[in-house]
């Protein structure tokens, strides 16, 4: 059984934790922290220089070409704090690690993603989904370079995953082997932090106010930072020398569902094509998790909601059958019954029109994900390499459905659809059949 996915920790507590854990940190390092918590990697996605260079906002790398940041660096270098620490905007290059470029590229060439996509660290091969080939290629090139030049860790107790606020965490690159994650997966997770974030400016303002309360001596630097337009900054020289940071920003889901990413990565290292099913309570986050896997891995994603049972088939006998409230026969024929690695053609069911929609086609990809209740129907479950269950308590479930679907649909969920789902879960003991289960 897996721990509950964590909620975003309060920013004040995160700041206090960092103040205690990093006593040599300077105001600039906390400014970097609050900027990351508010904007994630958005400035990378928006900056032409960042897109071209593969610059990551979550390592020691210099923020190239950003004149606002450069002016702020110059100001800090003249401040008492900057002069005392010997701060310089020069990036830290690190020292040569044990990994060589040839061995690292060989690892990628043998991985399912590398084989299927033709990806190389310098190519423009596409990782499908909303992420563009250019953004993955640049981010991957930067990550590969850092992994080949990781300096030794100054502290064996450095956390593998550390909250920074805003639903984000820093993933320690030195911990990849211990975490059991592939570098490609970390790169995919990092790219999920890059899209612009709603309310970022307001979140940053609130965090800066909290930072000023906790560190009154840093208020001159905070004021100067505001005056400079709150640019993205890198770590101070003293912080880099003391702690040698090497990390990537990732969503908190990387920690909440760590065992899932570990199992998928292990499977992808063993076989060319992997199929995952995500079953569980409605409103537990199956669609959200499925979408994250699609983006991180460039996976195909199929929805059981596209296989609603037509009204004409909803006989009392069919609805009395556990799991009968879905067209599992058609799903088995179009999706689950297909040979691994084959193209899939399917037609989503339009509930309003009570008719099948246009044909859609998905080409073969290393990972196929199926999300939705009834995906582990007895006629389907044998098709999957990994079975996942998401559970939610009834009170939270009801509140989510009401907020998401409105009062009328909420009533139908409570009176009609949830009882059918629960009967299926209970009669077929679906949760116990799963390889992983999460209470959200």
One domain, residues 136 and 25: yes
One domain, residues 94 and 53: yes
Residue 4 lies in a domain: no
One domain, residues 359 and 426: yes
One domain, residues 135 and 268: no
Cβ-defined contacts of 392-399 (< 8 Å, 24+): 392/280, 392/281, 392/283, 392/284, 392/285, 392/439, 392/440, 393/439, 396/283, 397/281, 397/282, 397/283, 397/284
pLDDT at 41: 84
pLDDT at 220: 97
Predicted confidence (pLDDT) at residue 255 exceeds the cutoff of 90: yes
Residue 372 lies in a domain: yes
One domain, residues 248 and 269: no
Domain CATH number, residue 286: 3.40.50.300
One domain, residues 87 and 213: yes
One domain, residues 310 and 423: yes
- 399-423 tens-digit pLDDT: 999 999 999 999 999 999 999 999 9
Residue 3 lies in a domain: no
One domain, residues 15 and 35: yes
pLDDT at 427: 96
Domain boundary residue, one of 237, 256, 275: 256
Token look-up 């309003």 returns 352
Predicted confidence (pLDDT) at residue 265 exceeds the cutoff of 60: yes
Maximum distance among all Cα pairs of the chain, rounded to whole angstroms: 79
- 4-51 tens-digit pLDDT: 333 446 999 999 999 999 999 999 999 999 999 999 987 664 433 333
One domain, residues 239 and 300: no
Token look-up 């076989």 returns 271
- 94-130 tens-digit pLDDT: 333 333 334 334 444 443 333 333 333 322 222 233 3
Which tokens sit at 313?
A: 């088939």
Residue 403 lies in a domain: yes
Cβ-defined contacts of 397-402 (< 8 Å, 24+): 397/281, 397/282, 397/283, 397/284, 400/283, 401/282, 401/283
Query: What is the mean predicted confidence (pLDDT) over 78-93?
Result: 37
Domain that includes residue 133, residue range: 11-256
One domain, residues 114 and 190: yes
pLDDT at 72: 54
């Amino acid at each position: 059984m897996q721990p509950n996915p964590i909620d975003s920790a309060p920013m004040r507590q995160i700041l206090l934790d960092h103040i205690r854990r990093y006593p040599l940190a300077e105001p600039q390092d906390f400014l970097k922290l609050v900027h990351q918590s508010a904007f994630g990697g958005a400035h990378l996605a928006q900056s032409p220089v960042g897109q071209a260079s593969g610059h990551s906002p979550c390592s020691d790398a210099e923020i190239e070409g950003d004149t606002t940041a450069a002016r702020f660096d110059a100001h800090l270098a003249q401040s008492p704090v900057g002069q005392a620490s010997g701060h310089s905007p020069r990036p830290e290059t690190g020292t040569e690690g044990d990994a060589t470029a040839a061995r690292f590229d060989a690892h990628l060439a043998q991985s399912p993603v590398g084989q299927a996509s033709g990806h190389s660290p310098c190519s423009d091969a596409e990782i499908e989904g909303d992420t563009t080939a250019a953004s993955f290629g640049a981010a991957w090139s930067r990550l590969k370079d850092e992994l080949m030049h990781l300096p030794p860790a100054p502290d064996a107790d450095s956390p593998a995953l550390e909250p920074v606020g805003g639903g984000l965490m820093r993933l320690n690159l030195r911990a990849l082997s211990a975490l059991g994650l592939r570098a490609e997966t970390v790169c995919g997770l990092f790219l999920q932090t890059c899209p612009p974030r709603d309310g970022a400016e307001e979140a940053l303002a609130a965090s800066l106010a909290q930072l000023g309360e906790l560190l009154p001596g840093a208020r001159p630097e905070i004021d100067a930072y505001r005056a400079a337009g709150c640019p993205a900054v890198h770590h101070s020289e003293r912080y880099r020398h003391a702690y040698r940071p090497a990390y990537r920003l990732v969503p908190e889901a990387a920690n909440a569902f760590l065992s899932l990413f570990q199992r998928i990565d292990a499977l992808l290292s063993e076989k060319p094509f992997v199929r995952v099913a995500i079953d569980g309570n409605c409103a537990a986050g199956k669609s959200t998790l499925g979408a994250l896997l699609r983006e991180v891995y460039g996976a195909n994603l199929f929805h059981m909601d596209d296989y609603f049972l037509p009204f004409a088939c909803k006989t009392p006998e069919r609805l009395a059958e556990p799991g009968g409230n879905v067209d599992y026969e058609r799903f088995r024929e179009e999706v689950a019954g297909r040979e691994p690695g084959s193209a899939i053609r399917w037609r989503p069911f339009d509930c309003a029109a009570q008719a099948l929609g246009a044909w859609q086609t998905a080409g073969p990809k290393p990972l196929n994900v199926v999300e939705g209740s009834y995906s582990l129907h007895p006629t389907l479950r044998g098709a999957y390499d990994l079975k996942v269950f998401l559970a939610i308590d009834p009170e939270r479930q009801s509140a989510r459905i009401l907020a998401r679907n409105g009062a009328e649909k909420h009533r139908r969920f409570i009176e009609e659809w949830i009882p059918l789902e629960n009967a299926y879960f209970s009669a077929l003991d679906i949760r116990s059949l799963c390889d992983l289960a999460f209470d959200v």
